[in-house]
Structure 1
Amino acid sequence: MATGEPGGSGSSSSQSPMEEMIDKLMEELEEIRKEAGEEETCKKNPNLSSNVPLSSLKTFKLMLEGELEALQEMPLEQLPPDPEMLQELAVEEVQRTAHCNARTLEFYKKKLEELKEKKRKYETKVKRATMVSQTLDRLQSQYLSDEEKAVALERKHNRTSTLFRFLRGQMHFILETLYPKEMSTPESIKHMEELLDCFVSQMLNAPNDPYVELNETMEEEHITLLLRANLITHHPTDITRVKFIDPRV
């Protein structure tokens, strides 16, 4: 780029790379000077050639650096206020702020939807956990209730077994004392024990239906003996069925 100064080369094609670089630096420096309101002070050297000594180039470089530092220290020219330009700047600022606010609002709307979705998922998990907890509480309560019932039944069974073992011993003594003929042989005693065990077991295992059907294996004299001793009784409407009279009632 030519500066129009006399003595300069007519075309950049005839300049060496070093000259072109120096010309470009000087032109840019003069442009900066002009924009700052200073007169042109830096001129292109018409005698500059590719054979310029290195010391001269260093001196010229230092001069350019000094010029640049001086330009940097100069205050910038203040433009007079332009209402239209200020209004345009204000409108641009408002638009930029509105755009920024719109993006921020959209961001928080998205975050709000994500939080609502998380809340819904957590509420669902809490409901499921509550249902599971309530079910476990019911099962635990039922288990404890069943366990307590089992303990109570076992305790009752043990007491009843002890009671009936005692009653059976006393009953054997009474039968052997009052009816020695019917209880005179070991076979008779064994048969009587089997009868009593059958009647008592039915009473304990099926309290709602304690009656036993009489069959041909049961000796009639033993049934009669137990009826006379008031240890068993017939069914009110079916004489073929008998039950052991519960002594606890």
Structure 2
Amino acid sequence: AWKCQNKLSLFGTETLTNSNAQLSLLIMQVKCLTAELGQWHKKTLEITPLTEDVLITLGKEEFQKLRQDLEMVLTTLQSKNEKLKEDLEREQQWLNEQEQIMESLNLLHGELKNQVGTCSESRILNELKTKIISIKKFKEKILITLGKFLEDHFPLPHGNIKKKRKNIQESTAQLITLNEILEILINRMFDVPHDPYVKINDCFWPPYIELILRNGIALRHPEDPTQIRLEAFHQ
């Protein structure tokens, strides 16, 4: 029996090396059958004395049956392993296809996003340019209309009109038109917003200064009455 058990252990070790779980299960079955064989052998010895040849024959038959059972179990497990491998390969192939589709979609999304962003920026810039051009044209139209209105209704005394001078601080006895005074105040307001006040000099005709102050178009400096500024209508 000891020799048979050694043969069975060697046989199990040689044939079941593919899976640790399968090997453990089969070894446990071998141990159970070996213990059962030992009990049977003891009982047989108590009842009927058996020769070594008989025991070897019986052992061979039992182990042959056990071998067939183990081969059947191994075949079943191998078949299950093959099926699992096929399922794994199929799932892996499906995963690879999904990853490729996702990568393609990400690239397409990036391209569309860039196109949308570029189109949106270009459209916004074109709209802003159109609005700026429209505003500039409207501004020029308003200034021309205002200048014509002021020239017709607020002329200088005795027709004394002079072209605008760049340096209004320069002392001169020649008067400038109301339109020029307003233009100076407007330019000062937007060119130097932190100090929009303009010094009154001899070029400014006093009646026009009083006119724009009384009508709220201009304001005097709170500490220096010789300086005026345009009312901040744009705020």
Same fold (TM over 0.5): no
More helix by share: 2
**Which structure's relative contact order is higher, taking Cα pairs within 8 Å and 6+ residues apart?**
2
Scaled by the length of structure 2, the TM-score of the pair is 0.44
Between structure 1 and structure 2, the one with the greater Rg is 1
**Under a length normalisation based on structure 1, what TM-score does the superposition of the two structures give?**
0.42
